[in-house]
Amino acid sequence: MNELLNLEQRSFKTFSIFSFFSLFALITFLLMFSSKYTVTDINYEKNIDLNYSSFDFVKGKSIWLINESDFGQFYEDNLSVENLVISKQLPNLLFIDIVIHEKIIVISDLRDTNPKEVILYKNLYTELTESNNRLPRLTITNGPVPDGFYSEIISLILTVNKYEISIQDLKILYDGIELTGSYKNITLNIGRPVDLSKKGSVVGYILEEDNCDGEVTIIDSNSEDIETILNC
């Protein structure tokens, strides 16, 4: 008799647990696919010059299922975008914060018969620009540029920018062999476009100290140390 009672109690407990999870799954399913919880509005910064047309692809989808993977087309359409920060307000509103890759430098390539200015982003993406007075400038007069050239330029600017200087006053020129530059009253002979992160540390330090009105020459060598000649 006791065994039969225990069996009935276990059966009832099992049935209760099964019923609870079945009900929970049903409610979850109804919420996920209810028309009340489908995305109808997307709030985002519209003043950034981007292609937002792919945002329409997520409208009508369940707000519960939306994540960053739904915005793959947006990333393809806007290569300057680093990432999206997505938040939700039930039942149907998305908030999207758009994070843009850092702008590094304005490049003028005079090798082209019809030279144009482009902005180089941290992810190596470039786009045409009419003017930008808040960035350093690079002018290319001859070439070709070596493999990894633009990555080295990014390393240089990111390193120099760690120092307390007016980065927009930095002007760099590449003649197909070496980099030279200027910053206020200082002339920079940077040398070949290699190890520019290390060279950037030297350049940034000298510019931040602001006690040299003259010429700074960085010697290219196979040594780990950067040798510099100051003519101030």
One domain for residues 94 and 128: no
One domain for residues 165 and 60: no
- At 86-118, the pLDDT tens digits run 999 988 999 999 999 999 999 999 998 888 899
Predicted structure pTM score:
0.82
Last residue of a domain, one of 79, 100, 121: 100
Q: In degrees rounded to 5, what are phi and psi of residue 217?
A: -120, 125
One domain for residues 54 and 134: no
Whether residue 117 lies inside any domain: the answer is yes
Crossing angle between the packed helical segments 149-160 and 196-209, to the nearest 10 degrees = 30
Strand partners, 147: none
Q: State the chain's mean pLDDT as an integer.
A: 86
Distance CA 60, CA 145 (A): 48
What range does the domain containing 109 cover?
103-231
Domain count, the chain: 2
One domain for residues 92 and 113: no
Distance CA 214, CA 112 (A): 32
- At 158-212, the pLDDT tens digits run 999 999 999 999 999 999 999 999 999 999 999 999 999 999 999 999 999 988 8
Q: Dump the DSSP string for 11-55.
A: HHHHHHHHHHHHHHHHHHHHHHH-GGGB--EEEE-TTS----GGG
Whether residue 212 lies inside any domain: the answer is yes
Cα–Cα nearest to 156, from 131, 176, 119, 181: 181
- At 56-90, the pLDDT tens digits run 999 988 888 899 999 999 999 999 999 999 999 98
One domain for residues 67 and 172: no
Whether residue 72 lies inside any domain: the answer is yes
Q: Under a CB-based contact definition with an 8 Å cutoff, are residues 99 and 81 in contact?
A: yes
CATH code of the domain containing 70 = 3.10.20
